[in-house]
Amino acid sequence: MKIKELASTFSRYLHSGEFDKLLQLDLMLYTNYLKQSEISEIYENVYSVTDSFLAEYGSFLRSQLPMKDGTQRNRVCYLIPNLDNDLAHIETFYNIFCHHSSTSDLEIFVAGEVAEKNNPRSRMIRQLVIDKKIKILEYAYSHAGALKFCSDFFNLHFAQVIVFSVPLLLPALVRALGPENVTWLTTKFELDSFKELRNRTSLFSWRKDVIYKGDSRWIRSLGALNAGEVPSFNARIDVKELRLVSLNREEKINHPTFLNSVSQILKNRENAIFHYTGRQNLENIKNFFSQQGLANRVRYIGWVNFSEVISNYDIFLDTPTLSGSIAAKACVAGLPYVGWRGSNSWLELFEGPITSELDEANAPWHLDEIICSDSDKFVSMVLKLIDDQKFRSDFSKSLQYVTEACFGNTVEMYHQHCDVIKGFIREPKRSLYQFKSAICHTNPLG
């Protein structure tokens, strides 16, 4: 993607008043480009270009809004672009708020787009509405939807908008509503992008913590898995053919370092077969293994239900970019796992307590052996697991023990997250009259 062309297109849509095209370009950029790479540096590079255009769009939104003060300090709205799926970020949202109480001093709303009015297809969102009385606000991802959402921020007296995981519209909302009133909770990367954004939080720790990246301050709190969603794993015994699996999006599997590592493993052990998931059956992956002479030992299995297939496999091979919740569940279930340092894996996030647990349990392995810093270490550990069934079994039990102890406290995750949001709400704010006089009033239409 050419940055100059991207900037030119954003500028044209902005200054010609084609705001729906501007927002669709932002959505396409996230869906078809950023999500395909899942590399933090690429996110930073792209957002360094789009940030100013979306902030200017936010100035236009703000100029169309009433000036109303008087927020309700306990009323917050979480913005999730689409409420018709149960992807990982919505699962995380559910794992936080499944512990919400009607007696809580926070009143929770969730806003986003739905295909069918009053009927979000997300099973988890529907469950929160029924069980926890969380309220839904429906908005189309369009200029009219953005304007309506910003108007409702004032009309419904929200104290805070939390852009949950996907940072679509984020610079526009910060400019339109004020940096004191908008929080970004990331479940992927702690970026230094979005220069006007003040409130940043992540679920990247086993405790509340504050870290600085570039000019940005991040407030970290506990991340956790719902124990009820961890599948049961039954190891295959005395098998002649070892099944290696990567349960990931193809975009992450289609990584040169990962593909070359899998190739080395298969060439070194003829009793190993590699299975991988996806939605497209990418030609690049098929061609790679065909050129390596390994096509007959690689299986594309499509998009599967992890819980239903986990016991069909012997070793989970994670990818170098952006490890996810499925990998974490594999560890807690006890499926032998090998991953990479720098992939934002749960094992990395909990490295301190996991290392302590391993030392206390006298485990037969060290964390550095499965958070691999390079391809050679990755290949070496997988070969060790392939060759030694007893080690594989002992490894499985100790991996399950230590990760189950560290990953499962969703109650504490809920309380820590709520404390973070309340902290942002309590911070001093300018009045909306002061804010409107402080922002840039440039009309993009000239």
Task: With CA atoms as reference, report the closest residue to 176 among 202, 201, 200, 154.
Answer: 154
In Å, how far from its chain's centre is CA 211? 19
Under 8 Å between Cβ of 383 and 269? yes
10-224+411-438 against 229-407: fold identical? yes
CATH assignment of 10-224+411-438, among 3.40.47.10, 3.30.420.40, 3.40.50.2000, 3.30.70.940:
3.40.50.2000
Please count the residues of the chain.
446
Q: Are 396 and 336 in contact (CB under 8 A)?
A: yes
Sequential pLDDT tens for the chain (446 residues): 577 788 999 999 999 999 999 999 999 999 989 988 888 999 999 999 999 999 999 999 999 987 666 566 789 999 999 999 999 999 999 999 999 998 899 999 999 999 999 999 999 999 999 999 999 999 999 999 999 999 999 999 999 999 999 999 999 999 999 999 999 999 989 999 999 999 999 998 888 899 998 889 999 999 999 988 899 999 999 899 999 999 999 999 999 999 999 999 999 999 999 999 999 999 999 999 999 999 999 999 999 999 999 999 999 999 999 898 999 999 999 999 999 999 989 999 899 999 998 998 888 899 999 999 999 999 999 999 999 999 999 999 999 999 998 898 999 999 999 999 999 999 866 554 454 544 444 455 54
Domain boundaries, the chain: 10-224+411-438, 229-407
Q: Give the residue among 393, 404, 395 at the shortest CA–CA distance from 363.
A: 395
CA distances from 240 to 233, 301, 386, 389 (A): 19, 21, 10, 11
- β-strand partners of 211: 218
**Distance, C-alpha 17 to centroid of its chain:** 32
Residue 440: the pLDDT is 44
Residues 6 or more apart from 417 whose CB is under 8 A from it? 96, 185, 201, 203, 221, 222
What is the three-class DSSP state of 246?
Answer: strand
pLDDT, position 36? 84
Q: How far apart are CA 346 and CA 442, in angstroms?
A: 44
Q: How far apart are CA 228 and CA 408, in angstroms?
A: 10
Long-range contact list for 375-380, CB < 8 A, 24+ apart?
A: 375/257, 375/260, 375/261, 375/264, 378/261, 378/338, 378/340, 379/261, 379/264, 379/265, 379/268
Query: Is 229-407 CATH 3.40.50.620?
Result: no
Instruction: Confirm if 224 and 408 have CB atoms less than 8 A apart.
Output: yes
